[in-house]
């Protein structure tokens, strides 16, 4: 996932019975990252936008219970693009910023 780009994901809860999903995301510097969660058939749709590069902890709960395996860790990277036009040479660099 890339810093500044929306990250959508689904939480499938149809087999778990009634309840609501919630998501708490913590950035590499310990800040809470806003995450919207909306009900959809079979579960919930969630999305957030990372503002920092590095590992983010994503804690998911359903019906006030922590989902097994949660918190999950995902890493946001800072993507840099460099374009050189000399003789049609194009190079993209992807660099992870800590």
E strands, 1-98, are 7-12, 21-26, 32-33, 35-40, 43-48, 54-62, 65-66, 72-76, 78-83, 90-95
Compute the chain's Rg from CA coordinates: 17
86 compared with 3, residue with greater pLDDT: 3
Domain regions of the chain by residue span: 7-95
| pLDDT over 70 (residue 40) | yes
- Split at pLDDT 50, 70, 90, the class of 95 is very low
Q: What is the pLDDT of residues 54-78, one digit of tens each?
A: 999 999 999 999 998 999 999 999 8
Q: How far apart are CA 29 and CA 81, in angstroms?
A: 25
7-95 adopts what CATH topology? Immunoglobulin-like (2.60.40)
| pLDDT over 70 (residue 83) | no
| pLDDT over 90 (residue 23) | yes
pLDDT of residue 53: 93
pLDDT of residue 54: 94
């Amino acid at each position: 996932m890339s810093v500044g780009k929306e990250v959508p994901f689904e939480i499938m809860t149809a087999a778990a019975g009634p309840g609501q999903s919630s998501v708490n995301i913590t950035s590499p510097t310990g800040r809470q990252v806003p995450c919207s969660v909306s009900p959809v058939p079979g579960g919930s749709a969630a999305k957030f936008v990372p503002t920092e590069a590095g590992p983010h902890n994503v804690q998911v709960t359903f019906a006030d219970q922590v989902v097994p395996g949660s918190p999950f860790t995902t890493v946001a990277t800072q993507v840099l693009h460099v374009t050189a036009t000399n003789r049609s040479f194009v190079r993209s660099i992807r660099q992870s910023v800590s």
